Amino acid sequence: MLHLFDTMSRRKVELEPRSAGQVSMYVCGPTPYDSAHLGHGRTAIVFDAMRRFLTWSGFTVTYVSNVTDVEDKIIARAATEGTTEAEVAERYREAYWSDLDRLGIGRPDAMPHATQFIDQMLALIAELVAGGHAYVIEGEGVYFAVDSYNDYGRLSGRRLDDLLEAAGARVAIDEQKRSPVDFALWKAAKPGEPTWDSPWGSGRPGWHIECSAMALEILGDGFDLHGGGDDLVFPHHENERAQAEAAGHPFARHWMHSGMVTIGGEKMSKSLQNFTTLAEALDRNDPRAFRLAVLQTHYRSQQELGPDVLVESEQALSRLDALVRKAAREGVGANTADPETVGAFRAAMDDDFGTPAAIGVIFDAVRNANSAIDARDLKRAESLLAAVRELTGVIGIELRTSEGADEEVDALVALRVAERNAGNYAEADRIRDELAARGITLEDGPDGTTWHR
């Protein structure tokens, strides 16, 4: 039985879907105004792996991830570039998914854009105003009255009195909010910004109302899982939950959050000049190795993703690929996946998506499969290999029998084979050494020579 750590209850709980055999997931997606960074990649991998495991476990999964295509940073970028907000959002949305495609991230079943759900946001705001949970300030917009919702702070574990004390000094002089912790549901129109008509005047939605409206519209009341990075717990997810439930709509049954990424022990940020875009990391490293590195740390933990970590992950990945090549050379075919390996993997994942332990199970199977091949216990080897193939697929790692196209390396490998066949062993060894200096390993077998980095 699957147990997960629920952010709101602060303990592991059994997953209890709203409908038997079905899981509905909403994961906060990008605000596309700049290039995706390593943290975006980690969050996407974490929840993609959860989705894959749930599907493998027999659930029908509905996965929704939004695009916030109207927001202050997008507006500022458009003004700087002299373009439109829609053009900025679409350009960076495409770049974001180009990076995620390289990581093997499955596309969501629905990818709602905030600007497509303005009517639903207005309806939700109207419910809050009618229920006394929101109020209008002429010339400013509509605000959520935090003190009208008694359960505020439960998700993040923050007390309203502490929030009031911390927020009091930050209220702008020109704001007329009743309380410094109240937040905008609808922002009055400003010159040069995109606007929509509303009962409270022209304007645009606040950030938090977007996800509440989209999640409820697509997944319905009381959907199963809401996820995102742990930097969203407060205020974004706290506010999402408050405005939805204050309006009478049961919101997410479970909340899950992934930890932040660090570089050299420090939180990644542009101000520290340790900021790395996801595209840069994937250009330098095998995208599969990036995915493996992410999953080797538990999703709730802070994670170091510096260059050394990714190099180590590439080395681990090479062990997976090497087993597939070795099995092919030795004639190890298909078989039913080893049930003991599959059971251990499932037990690890059922314990709050414990991917580090699950990956440990896979590498134990790799070691045992290699030993079985060496001992010519081919039936055992086939069963273990089948488990490795199946379980790496569950976590989204594609195994490869070769490195793919590289004309220069292919030519050198072919030249070495020709020299060796001609008896020019010294020259063949020289070419092998040259390739080794480049990080290329050759493997000779009855079906020829293969190479990998």
Give CA 437 to chain center in angstroms. 35
Structure tokens at 432: 């092998």
**For strand 266-267 and strand 261-263, is the pairing parallel, antiparallel, or unpaired?**
antiparallel
CATH 3.40.50.620 at 3-133+205-262, yes or no: yes
Q: Report pLDDT for 262.
A: 87
Domain 285-394 CATH class label: mainly alpha
Centre a 10 Å sphere on the Cβ of residue 28 and count the other Cβ atoms it contains.
22
Q: Which residue has the tokens 């480049």?
A: 438
Domain ranges of the chain: 3-133+205-262, 285-394, 407-452
Phi-psi region at 58: left, alpha or beta (left = phi > 0; alpha = psi -120 to 50): left
The pLDDT profile of the chain, 453 residues, written as one tens digit per residue, is 999 999 999 999 999 999 999 999 999 999 999 999 999 999 999 999 999 999 999 999 999 999 999 999 999 999 999 999 999 999 999 999 999 999 999 999 999 999 999 999 999 999 999 999 999 999 999 999 999 999 999 999 998 888 887 765 455 544 689 999 999 999 999 998 999 999 999 999 999 999 999 999 999 999 999 999 999 999 999 999 999 999 999 999 999 999 999 887 777 765 566 778 999 999 999 999 999 999 999 999 999 998 899 999 999 999 999 999 899 888 998 789 999 999 999 999 999 999 999 999 999 999 999 999 999 999 999 999 999 999 999 999 999 876 554 567 767 888 898 888 888 888 888 988 888 887 787 877 654 676 766
How many residues make up the chain in this entry?
A: 453
Structure tokens at 181: 């912790």
